[in-house]
Structure 1
Amino acid sequence: MLLTTKFLRPSADSRAVRRDRLISLLHPEAPKRLNLVIAPAGFGKTTLASQWCSQTTSRTAWLSLDGHDNEPRRFWEYVVGAFEHAGLANLGTSRKLLSQESGDASTGAVTALLNTLAEDDSAWALVLDDFHFIQDPGILREFAYFIDYLHPGITVTITSRTEPALPLSRWRVRRWVQDINPGSLAFSEAECRQFFKDTMGVELSGNDAATIYRKTEGWVAAMQLSALSGRTIQGHSQPSPAGSHLEVDERHISDYVLTEVLQNQPEEAVQFLLDTACCPRLCASLCNSIRGQGDSQEKLEQLLSQNLFLIPLDNHNEWFRYHDLFRDALLYRLHQSSPERAKELRRETVSWLLDHGEVHEGIAQILQLEDWPWLASVLAEHGNNLIHGGYHLPVLGWIDALPVDLFQDSPQLQMLKIWGLFFANRVDTLEPLLTTLEDLLDKRVADSHPDAEGALGLQSEISLIRSYLARTRSDEKSASDLTRQVLKDIDHTQIPLKSVTYYGVGLDYYGQGNLGDAEDALRSAVHYGQIERKPSTVLSSGGLLAWIQYDRGDIDIALDTCTEVRRWVDQHYADPTQPVLISCWQNSALTEIFRETDRLEQASTYLAPLLEHVDGGTEPGQHVIIQYVRGHLAFSEGRLNEAVEFLEDAAHTGRKRRDHIVFEPPASEALLARCYLGLGLVDKARDCLGNPDALDWSNPLNREQMQISMARVLVASNKPEPAQEMLTSLMRAAEKNAHIRHQVEVLLVYAEALDLQSRQNEAREMLERALVKASNAGFLRLFVEESRRVRELLLELPSLKSPGSWNQRLLSMLAEQGVEEKAPERTEVPTTKTATEPKPAEVPLVEPLSQRELEVLSLINDGYANKEIAAKMDVAPATVKAHIRNLYGKLGVKRRTEAMVRARNLGLLHH
């Protein structure tokens, strides 16, 4: 039961100063999504939020948090409860998902809440008071997801004593965040006078009020610190000397305040403040290390008790940071008084950060020092793990910051750049870099360079990259030979490559349809990825492994694989300030698993984070997989026109960018044909599959998918005999390769072909075999999504009415499908018109596309991601985004697939 008093907004103190200028900052304004009110206790955060709520016209949900709410299910139960208490309806799905025992219940509930808010389409305000109690990484990740996908018109306001570990930098770049910090909470002169009069009961003269405001710039914390110094500001009426103001963070803090603070602190406290000013974050261990002392925890707690601009970053008094203005002022003083000491302290700080795994912060400090040899050394040591942790783009940026000669003389850095470009999918740039690196390594070996052994190790990395490049050319033999050579040599090198190599082996076996060996290789990739601390490889390998297990009919095992891999990554690489590290393979596998087991809402939960990559541009292989899974989910939900749109886009990208995909992606055309059949467009289904004798699919899974769809077209064309002949051959191949899902599909289509020939007994036998195989595997929607004839035959089977939860579930789904299905289904109007239908005239563009916009449009049509387009056009990614935004506006669309359809209809692109 929820405590309803937590949903009650506290009434503001009538004596409190009215903060109208801050209240105006909290009002909703596009594209803002989040108000962030951060300040220590007593700064009036709750009062400000309450005053704003009393003025806003938005419907308001309030939640006061406490230490008991730092648990995912409880937190989201209260968030949902706050909205419900405020009058938001249709929250049953969210509550239902939160009542489930599965580990992903809160994620599904968040998606359901987002959907409900979108459907409500009202302006809402959610206030989360005392957010500093929320420290759980799982809650923070889900809350970041909530903000990322928040419906326009909804504003979330957080009040907190500490800055939450959320991707605030990314949101600030997008102008989603309104920050109100202690500096923003500073009083104006009028507010200062009102504060002393109404709140403190002290009547100030006009001169005294002006002096307080001028000396402290209305900063309440600064006034408190002045009081700590044992002096009263009112006694200083002389203006500050000219030039005594220090410009910090585009604001000024009086030299008077800083001087008074430091002069009235003990010498050892002043020294502590100056020594630790170079630390972006502080903890006792870090401070002890750079000071060479052991009393830092005591010092930090003393500063905290005096409110000396020290802001806690947790509730355990372990991590802190100085207020930015105060830290900048301390750094200014330190550099003025002891520049060499300042440099030494910063180097000590960097060493501690690197030793304790804080590589990003360490590199940020090195960049400020402009110590390029040190940066090169750190990148050579940590760069590989950073890239495999998903930070390939920052690594490329850091490499570009190095002097050219330093980079050209380092094989390790050259190899690191090659890996960074590979993970950024800029594979067309790799060949010359590989050749240059090979020449350098050959020279080092010939010259007996001291690092000749390391040069030999890099040869294995080069072979591994070349094996992936061979896969993009569909040169499976070269890819396999190179990968196996790396496996043979790998134990003789010091470079952690086993995980990436076994992932390549797994891709090879998967491409051959050898699912058993592919599973073994991918398990090894996951195992070594965990040993080598490569989270992105672990996620990708585990995701592909789960995808294969799903195909083989091991749905429960596939779900366990995803859960175990995700748990490991979250335990070792959970940084709530960074975007959640996700894998296209894993999220796609989970979407398929939940779709097939008829948990469509949960399927959409795992699909949702992938869609941003499609709309913003991603590498072509991932684009095809995401659109395929997206189309499959739309097909299962009966949104056939949307499914056609997604699958046509997937097929188009797969054809256009085949040379840039290191594996053969799913056969989108096979599923597209099923959509056309569902729309009653048999001819279009046949056309999209092409000539059955000219199938160019190296992956047996894809070949089987295409042939099963061809058999469906033959059955729909009332040609059961050739369909039966094709299915007989298919069944042998599917059984040989243990492709359980395809075996079930073959049996279902075979049964329909037999029924068309009035061979009902044999048809029932086929359906019985399909039920046995599917019940063992857990497949459900395979049956529901077959033709009406097959569903009717299934409903007549006595065995389906026998006891058992799977039988009852399938029977219920079949009966429900029969009731809810539109009759006839083929009357739906397709998005792609048949040849005999007149094509509606396209409304011409009000404003033509510029030459640059046409160039961007052409590259999008070729399947290039935004960062690839930027590289090809030699412009900044932000420029590409601006062109895309403009052409979307001119075309009147909101996403890539819509833009392609509209542009083709206008004759701007060729099909």
Structure 2
Amino acid sequence: MNRSRDRDAPPTQSSYADAAQEPRCWPALILTKLAPPRTRHYVHRARAIGLLRPGLECKLTVLVAPAGFGKTSLLSEWKHCLEKEGCAVGWLSIDADDDDLFQFCAYLLAAARNAYRQAGEAVARQLEPDPLASAEAMLAELLNAVATLPRRLVLVLDDFDRLAAPAIHEAVFRLLRYAPDNLHVLVAGRGEPAFPLSYFEARGQLLRLDAQALRFDGAETQAFFSVVSGRTLSAAQTEALLQATEGWVAGLQLASFALSENEPAREFTERLPFARRSIEAYLNENVFVHVPGPLQVFLLRTSVLDRMSVSLCNAVAATDAAHASFEWLVARNMFVRPLDAECEWYRYHALFAEYLRKRLLRERPHEAVGLHRRASDWFAAQSLWPEAVRHALAAGDVDRAAGWVEQCAMNLVEASDVRTVLSWVAKLPAEAVHGRLRLRLAHAWALALTMQTLAAKAALQAVEDDIDRGQLPLSNVVRVELQAVKALIAGLSDESQLSLEMGRKVLALGPEAGSWEEGIGLTTQIFGLSYAAGFDEVKRLRRTLILSTGADAPIYAKVYRQSMVGLSLFVEGRLGEAVQSLEDVLRESNARAGRHSAASVLPVGYLAAIHYEWNDLDRVAELLEGRLEMALQACSLGPLIGFCVTLARLRLLAGKQDEAYRIVEDAEAVARERQWLRMQVACKAEAIRISIGAGDISRATRIGNDLEALVGPKQATLQGSYLETWQRFQVAHCRLLVGRGRAAQAVPILQGVQAELRAAGMQYMSAQISVMLAVALHSAGQRAEAVLAMRAALAYGQKNGLHRVILDAGPPVREILDALRQQEDRLAEIEPWYLSKLYAGFDAPASAPGVKDEQAEPVAASRLSAREVEILDYVARGLSNKEIARAIRVAPETVKWHLKNIFEKLKVNSRIQAVRSGLGRDLPRVTERTVPRS
């Protein structure tokens, strides 16, 4: 076996250990899965390749055939052909361990990165790993990256049928539905994928191939035997073999073993049909008997492995002859394939592996546990944790598997690779996790950092209950970490007062300087202080924060902390300093994690809100471009409010009122799911603002009633971030009062809110209230008081760049400014340049730069399930409920239930509206009948 390394070859598993040691943590990827297995004896399949070629004009090719038909070998040749023609081709060999949505998406991005590199293209930053990104966000970024690729990208997903998780099939369906024209996906397996193929078939976007396309013909059969055994078959022998095997390549390979032992072809062909009925019997009687005894033992012992190396097999099989064994097997084409160019990693053919495992359990059942255990030990020694854990579980060593996960979990959390932790914990039995305090704490951290705060609270409460019962130990280190997790959960749940209290407790317990816990304590304390008028204390803490966050600190932790500093400056009303702090950390996160990473999205929400206020709309568009999906999935509450509200306002300025509504409605749905009251209020308040601007007072009133029911009565004291919640609610309420001609009722409400904001030191929010108060006073006929209120807003505004809050208030503010200009004594502190700029803003046409939305359709529509899209597709083609039910083999009542859910998700009332909203431009090419309304 050649161990030499080709410098230009794609990365292989031999580089895995180095990759695993990179400072940035990421799910452990088996790099040999990103390339097809090498085939020593292969026959060119011109006919089958010709059948694959039309699929390039479609989005999807599905190749389904039983085991042993040569799917992988054919696709390997197809990959080579496509690359020669200039396509970028990504390959992913799938196994059962990939049945996790996040892990699957990580591999999919890795396959795309590999394709880019092999095609000589610079790898798009969207394809760089981002541990905090959700699967939806990763797939959205993949689509964005592919759309800019100047060539076709083909993704080959081999053995896709090994994936059972509905979430993965839903994700691939969505990926295909939104795929750009230069993306083609080829799915191969023993069975069809679970997503609705009819959707793509109806649009001419699907090529189906089955076993018939893979069967060998006479010429291929003769060529196969010539390559494998060196023998030339006569026409009669070829015909006999084809009749016996029906072109089944595994049968031909079985025949090659017999013929290599000088057995007459005629006699073999008489027995071969029985092999189709019992592969195991045939292998027993005609193949395994020709293998030397020691090598038989080697085959059985190594059958527990999905992939094999010399070192691994020596350890598992307790031998030193693995190298010679592989050479013997490869020389005889004995169902073993090298996985890389260096022949360092191998795997058995699926049929042969199944046969060996059955024989192992039958003949040596007592060895299986020990074999898995030795494999587990070997993988653990190489820090290949996913496989170490899998083999430990197969050996029944649940405690050992849990221990290894526990050993890595907190390091992964600190590197923000929290989804790997969630994936691993999900694979462990509950009883294996229960007694491991460190693992359970890491799990709580991971839940919190993925915005699953309710689940995180429940997990942490269960830990504390077990500590109280004496079932788990409590040390000072654990005490610190418990407080830190509580502080983080409180902060992410928008409980700012509790976050401040918990953050102080963390620091009072004396965490290690520079530790993760100290950083969380500082971050959550700054968040709490920002809404408790603790701005001076924040200034003192900032020095500690700088010292505890070195240049090599994980980028996500650093961004969260610096964003809290920016938030504090923003809340205080020091907009310029806030922008400087946030822009600094955004530059670093862009450089280290990429523009589309979760880290880079975090400060964008605050930055976009401030730049919008400054009327720097080009910068706002640049900040928001292509980041909506990631923001919805990965942002915490405050930045997400800023992101979504600002994006909606930008859409509104561009005359896209429906899109503005859609953005705040989808953002509200996210807030509702996470139980974020402040964000729900912000979204409803923005919807009221949009409605009033459009003259739709009826809609604004309806939303206002919903908002009032949501917020409820005023709390006795307005503290913490709830003050902002109350402020947004009251501004929306007063805006509605003014719109309904009851401005006088709004004035005292606004004055009361402003007094509370001033007491809390929130200058920017107070200035916003001043503008609204001026409008209310003006509408109530109190013109002189309106001028005084506006004067206060302008005094703050000219120092901090206020523009949009004034311009967006509309014509009443213009009239107030005209009145103010006539009172020169009151203009002494307002500089002429500032007023001139405001007037120029009023005189400019109402427009805004476009922000390209990475989604072709509304977010709500994109979250329809695959089944719902399939039903909507049938609706678009004019089928009745009964006809749809027959097509998808369900009861008509089930179709009605699905339609009800579709209507609710899309916020529509009819089938026609649902089709237009849910399918958008992606409609069937032919509509056979009009869409029925009932």
TM-score bracket, normalised by the shorter chain, equals 0.5 to 0.7
Residue 601 of structure 2 contacts residue 630 of structure 2 at CA under 8 Å; is this kept in 1?
no
Partner of 1:397: 426
1:773 aligns with 2:797: no
Amino acid at match of 1:71: A
Amino acid at match of 1:359: W
Partner of 2:467: 441
Which deviates the most, 199-208 or 675-684?
199-208
Partner of 2:687: 672
Amino acid at match of 1:489: L
What are structure 1's unaligned runs of at least 5 residues?
A: 1-12, 54-62, 77-103, 118-124, 133-143, 446-450, 575-579, 822-845, 849-881, 904-911
Residue 280 of structure 1 and its aligned partner are, at CA, apart by 3.6
Deviations 1:606-641 (A, max 9, x none): 113456x69xxx999999888656645544544334
Out of 249, 257, 276, the position equivalent to 1:219 is: 249
Out of 384, 402, 405, the position equivalent to 1:358 is: 384
1:148 aligns with 2:171: no
Map residues 64-79 of structure 1 onto 2, 5 A cutoff: 67=118, 69-72=120-123
Amino acid at match of 1:69: G
Map residues 530-679 of structure 1 onto 2, 5 A cutoff: 552-553=575-576, 554-555=578-579, 557-562=581-586, 564-565=588-589, 585=602, 597-598=617-618, 599-600=620-621, 603-609=624-630, 631-632=648-649, 634-644=651-661, 647=664, 660-661=675-676, 667-679=682-694
How far, CA to CA, are the matches of 1:761 and 1:327 in structure 2? 84
Residue 371 of structure 1 and its aligned partner are, at CA, apart by 1.9
Question: Do the aligned partners of residues 301 and 847 (structure 1) sit closer, same or farther apart at CA in structure 2, a change above 3 Å counting?
Answer: same
Question: Do the aligned partners of residues 310 and 116 (structure 1) sit closer, same or farther apart at CA in structure 2, a change above 3 Å counting?
Answer: closer
How far, CA to CA, are the matches of 1:426 and 1:107 in structure 2? 21
Out of 902, 905, 909, the position equivalent to 1:895 is: 905
Residue 64 of structure 1 and its aligned partner are, at CA, apart by 10
Deviations 1:290-321 (A, max 9, x none): 67999989998998899876667677877665
Amino acid at match of 2:235: S
Partner of 1:870: none
1:491 aligns with 2:511: yes
Residue 679 of structure 1 and its aligned partner are, at CA, apart by 1.4
Out of 506, 528, 531, the position equivalent to 1:508 is: 528
Deviations 1:16-46 (A, max 9, x none): 3256776798885899899998548973556
Out of 392, 396, 402, the position equivalent to 1:376 is: 402
Q: Specify the SS of the correspondent of 1:895.
A: helix
Amino acid at match of 1:378: W
Partner of 2:810: 787
How far, CA to CA, are the matches of 2:433 and 2:157 in structure 1? 45
Question: Do the aligned partners of residues 73 and 694 (structure 1) sit closer, same or farther apart at CA in structure 2, a change above 3 Å counting?
Answer: closer
TM-score, normalization by structure 2: 0.56
Count of aligned positions: 734
Deviations 1:118-150 (A, max 9, x none): xxxxxxx95649999xxxxxxxxxxx9997374
Q: Specify the SS of the correspondent of 1:72.
A: coil
Partner of 2:238: 208
Residue 222 of structure 2 contacts residue 232 of structure 2 at CA under 8 Å; is this kept in 1?
no
Residue 188 of structure 1 contacts residue 218 of structure 1 at CA under 8 Å; is this kept in 2?
yes
How far, CA to CA, are the matches of 2:387 and 2:322 in structure 1? 21
How far, CA to CA, are the matches of 2:378 and 2:794 in structure 1? 66
Question: Do the aligned partners of residues 70 and 524 (structure 1) sit closer, same or farther apart at CA in structure 2, a change above 3 Å counting?
Answer: farther
Residue 374 of structure 1 and its aligned partner are, at CA, apart by 1.8
Residue 110 of structure 1 contacts residue 146 of structure 1 at CA under 8 Å; is this kept in 2?
no
Map residues 420-499 of structure 1 onto 2, 5 A cutoff: 437-438=463-464, 440-442=466-468, 444=470, 452=473, 454-455=474-475, 457-464=477-484, 480-489=500-509, 491=511, 497-499=517-519
Q: Specify the SS of the correspondent of 1:157.
A: strand
1:43 aligns with 2:94: no
Question: Do the aligned partners of residues 769 and 228 (structure 1) sit closer, same or farther apart at CA in structure 2, a change above 3 Å counting?
Answer: farther
Residue 258 of structure 2 contacts residue 287 of structure 2 at CA under 8 Å; is this kept in 1?
no
Deviations 1:547-598 (A, max 9, x none): 6677644346424424534665689xx9xxxxx8789856755876897743
Partner of 1:98: none
Question: Do the aligned partners of residues 228 and 538 (structure 1) sit closer, same or farther apart at CA in structure 2, a change above 3 Å counting?
Answer: farther
Question: Do the aligned partners of residues 442 and 480 (structure 1) sit closer, same or farther apart at CA in structure 2, a change above 3 Å counting?
Answer: same
Q: Specify the SS of the correspondent of 2:903.
A: coil
Partner of 1:101: none
Map residues 178-327 of structure 1 onto 2, 5 A cutoff: 186-189=214-217, 192-193=220-221, 204-211=234-241, 214=244, 218-219=248-249, 223=253, 226=256, 235=265, 237-238=267-268, 239-240=270-271, 259=288, 277-281=303-307, 323-327=349-353
Deviations 1:45-95 (A, max 9, x none): 5669999x9xxxxxxxxx99784524135999xxxxxxxxxxxxxxxxxxx
Deviations 1:439-494 (A, max 9, x none): 6535649xxxxx85x55544444445555677799876555444433333363899
Amino acid at match of 1:558: L
How far, CA to CA, are the matches of 1:283 and 1:684 in structure 2? 67
Residue 767 of structure 2 contacts residue 797 of structure 2 at CA under 8 Å; is this kept in 1?
yes
TM-score, normalization by structure 1: 0.57
How far, CA to CA, are the matches of 2:773 and 2:236 in structure 1? 94
Residue 891 of structure 1 contacts residue 899 of structure 1 at CA under 8 Å; is this kept in 2?
no
Deviations 1:477-513 (A, max 9, x none): 5554444333333638999644544454344234436
Residue 49 of structure 2 contacts residue 78 of structure 2 at CA under 8 Å; is this kept in 1?
no
Residue 306 of structure 2 contacts residue 347 of structure 2 at CA under 8 Å; is this kept in 1?
yes
Partner of 1:827: none
How far, CA to CA, are the matches of 2:437 and 2:808 in structure 1? 55
CA RMSD of aligned residues (A): 7.2
Amino acid at match of 1:148: L
Map residues 88-167 of structure 1 onto 2, 5 A cutoff: 111=144, 128=154, 148=175, 150-151=177-178, 156-157=183-184
Question: Do the aligned partners of residues 334 and 582 (structure 1) sit closer, same or farther apart at CA in structure 2, a change above 3 Å counting?
Answer: farther
How far, CA to CA, are the matches of 1:546 and 1:729 in structure 2? 24
Question: Do the aligned partners of residues 729 and 433 (structure 1) sit closer, same or farther apart at CA in structure 2, a change above 3 Å counting?
Answer: closer
1:367 aligns with 2:375: no
Residue 31 of structure 1 contacts residue 175 of structure 1 at CA under 8 Å; is this kept in 2?
no
Partner of 2:844: 815
How far, CA to CA, are the matches of 2:376 and 2:806 in structure 1? 60
Amino acid at match of 1:43: E
Q: Specify the SS of the correspondent of 1:643.
A: helix
Q: Specify the SS of the correspondent of 2:376.
A: helix
Question: Do the aligned partners of residues 24 and 220 (structure 1) sit closer, same or farther apart at CA in structure 2, a change above 3 Å counting?
Answer: farther
How far, CA to CA, are the matches of 2:115 and 2:408 in structure 1? 42
Residue 476 of structure 1 contacts residue 508 of structure 1 at CA under 8 Å; is this kept in 2?
yes
Identical residues among aligned pairs (%): 15
Residue 678 of structure 1 and its aligned partner are, at CA, apart by 1.4
Q: Specify the SS of the correspondent of 1:680.
A: coil
Out of 370, 374, 386, the position equivalent to 1:348 is: 374
Amino acid at match of 2:657: L
How far, CA to CA, are the matches of 1:261 and 1:814 in structure 2? 91
Q: Specify the SS of the correspondent of 1:390.
A: helix
Residue 313 of structure 1 contacts residue 320 of structure 1 at CA under 8 Å; is this kept in 2?
yes
Residue 342 of structure 1 and its aligned partner are, at CA, apart by 5.1
Q: Specify the SS of the correspondent of 1:17.
A: helix
